[in-house]
Structure 1
Amino acid sequence: MPITKPVALFVRCAVVVVLVAVASGCTSTPAATPGSCERASYTVDDPAEPVNRGIFAFNRTVDDYALAPVARGYLKLPDVVQTGVHNFVANFGEPKVFINDLLQGNAQRSVNTLGRFVINTTAGIVGLIDVSGKLGIERHKADFGQTFGVWNIAPGPIVELPLLGTSSLRDATGRLLSSAVDPFGSNSDTVDTLSTINTVGGVVDGRAEALPLTDKLRGRPDYYAALRDSVAQRRADFVAQGKLGAVAGDDADCQEGATVDE
């Protein structure tokens, strides 16, 4: 069967993107990164603390009796299943990472992100396998909250969102914008199904990734304040990485990374 011109054009473009991404991942000079555990400065503005604490109590109840137990059960699944879910969720989110890379004016990271998405969606079987990582194209994170921070928009006051957790007003606005953006622009049933799988998998996988941190913070005298400050520190570090064009690390001890709302 002859290949139509649009399909042939897409294939050629994809090949070019992949080759550029591989070349940039293998030969470019890495962007400057902070020290291994160097932390960015941050401030906490929590004028609605009594209200936030009330919502936090509700969120904690939901987490204690529903989300955290499911996440602990998920961690008992075979590693290959957990890795596949994690890779799929990460790959499905790459288009939004790409958009934020562009908005932050970071051409290098945007090329890497696009290359990762093309490779992992095809050779990686819809992202279940991180083929890009094996080729040396590192994954990084980016979201609209980080982009606003790179644009020097202040974090604003702390807001506790029902079922979504603790964040700053800047990051909460970024989340709302992210939920409204559909990079796929499709009403396809297949895309809708994959999106649903991604949402469920992302919540469970993210909560499982956060368990070591939240289990540690629960032992503090004030869990609310400990988690709030940890989130503020992590997001400050994340914005600093965006300004440097750095690849986000996965070291939980340095990142104090995942939180219950991720």
Structure 2
Amino acid sequence: MAVGSMIGLGLSRPCRRLFIALCLLPALALVAGCALPEAPAPAGIEDPFEERNRRVHAANKGIDRAVLRPVARAYGAVVPGVAQTGLRNVANTLDLPGTVVNNLLQLDLPSAARNSARFTINATLGIGGLFDPAGEMGLAEADTDFGETLHVWGVPEGAYVELPVFGPSNKRDALGTVVDIVLNPLGPMLSDETRRVVTAIEVGEVVDTRNRYAVMIDGVLYESADSYAQSRLLYLQNRRFTLHTDIATPDEDPMALDTEGF
């Protein structure tokens, strides 16, 4: 659960940083032959690929330990808070066109209109998204992704999977992640130079998210008796809660659940 340590627990939208995966996938070879313990999945969790998932989880955890966590710590220590906020604002603004597309595919016209207005205001008055005047006007983002679009269309979540680098997912959301990589209509409009800048911003957003949620992520990865089981539980509970299909009570925030002992 490296890059996916934030994304997979529901703390960010599905990752669209495919180039990171292409750079770091060779690390999977380090654990490809490792035999890891397997325990029956709890009720309500479909995990027929657990043996393979645990191998991927071990690789993702190694990437986090060796690369992402130390970089995020340095980022948090060196980069001023106002610059961190500006980075998040710009990344959010760049993601909004793709979010609008998903709003429309879900026939959620009010959310599409709100996100379109948010993008227009922040891209102009917010100086390319550096600031968030739309938020100050009360135009909060109606966040969504293609995994949720598939849910709205009636596609079941399918078995749990842990993706290399991207982290916890399920069959439906894994497909959604692939689609979200290319769904943003802003992409084809950018020059090569601008794409490089956008890529740098997306890398920065990953590091920023890892830094902001360091306490929770470190607790899951390095303080749990079974980091795989706990990340699986948190991902599924959070995702089902978000989509209103949670196996817990509908009003119960899964990020506040006591998962000690996993």
What is aligned with 1:205? 208
What's the offset of the Cα at 1:73? 2.0
Deviates more, 1:204-213 or 1:221-230: 204-213
How do 1:44-123 residues align onto structure 2 when only pairs under 5 Å count? 44-76=45-77, 77-123=79-125
Q: Determine the C-alpha separation between the residues in 2 that align with 1:79 and 1:230.
A: 28
Change (3 A) 1:169 1:102: same
Q: Considering only CA atoms, is the larger Rg found in Structure 1 or Structure 2?
A: 1
How many residues are paired up?
205
What is aligned with 2:32? none
Unaligned runs of 5+ in 2: 1-42, 246-251, 257-262
What is aligned with 2:231? 227
- In structure 1, what residue type is equivalent to 2:48? P
Instruction: Tell me if the contact between 1:43 and 1:232 (Cα under 8 Å) persists in the aligned partners.
Output: no
Change (3 A) 1:96 1:182: closer
- In structure 1, what residue type is equivalent to 2:191? S
How do 1:247-258 residues align onto structure 2 when only pairs under 5 Å count? 254=253, 256=255
Instruction: Tell me if the contact between 1:147 and 1:239 (Cα under 8 Å) persists in the aligned partners.
Output: no
Deviates more, 1:64-73 or 1:179-188: 179-188
2:242 matched to 1:238? yes
Q: Determine the C-alpha separation between the residues in 2 that align with 1:194 and 1:132.
A: 23
SS state of the match for residue 189, structure 2? coil
Instruction: Tell me if the contact between 2:101 and 2:184 (Cα under 8 Å) persists in the aligned partners.
Output: no
- Please report the RMSD computed on the Cα atoms of aligned residues, expressed in angstroms: 2.1
Change (3 A) 1:110 1:187: closer
Q: Determine the C-alpha separation between the residues in 1 that align with 2:224 and 2:184.
A: 39
2:191 matched to 1:188? yes
What is aligned with 2:21? none
SS state of the match for residue 145, structure 1? helix
Unaligned runs of 5+ in 1: 1-41, 242-252, 258-262
- In structure 2, what residue type is equivalent to 1:224? Y
- In structure 1, what residue type is equivalent to 2:45? V
- In structure 2, what residue type is equivalent to 1:222? D
SS state of the match for residue 153, structure 1? coil
Structure 1 length as normaliser, TM-score?
0.73
Instruction: Tell me if the contact between 1:214 and 1:227 (Cα under 8 Å) persists in the aligned partners.
Output: no
Per-residue displacement from partner, 1:226-260 (whole Å, max 9, x unpaired)?
Answer: 0011011111122229xxxxxxxxxxx94639xxx
Percent identity reads 35
SS state of the match for residue 74, structure 2? helix
Q: Determine the C-alpha separation between the residues in 2 that align with 1:47 and 1:153.
A: 19
What's the offset of the Cα at 1:60? 0.4
Change (3 A) 1:126 1:190: farther
- In structure 2, what residue type is equivalent to 1:228? R
| Structure 1 outlier segments of 4+, above 6 Å | none
Instruction: Tell me if the contact between 2:125 and 2:133 (Cα under 8 Å) persists in the aligned partners.
Output: yes
Instruction: Tell me if the contact between 2:234 and 2:254 (Cα under 8 Å) persists in the aligned partners.
Output: no
How do 1:129-208 residues align onto structure 2 when only pairs under 5 Å count? 129-184=131-186, 185-208=188-211
Structure 2 length as normaliser, TM-score?
0.73
What's the offset of the Cα at 1:210? 3.3
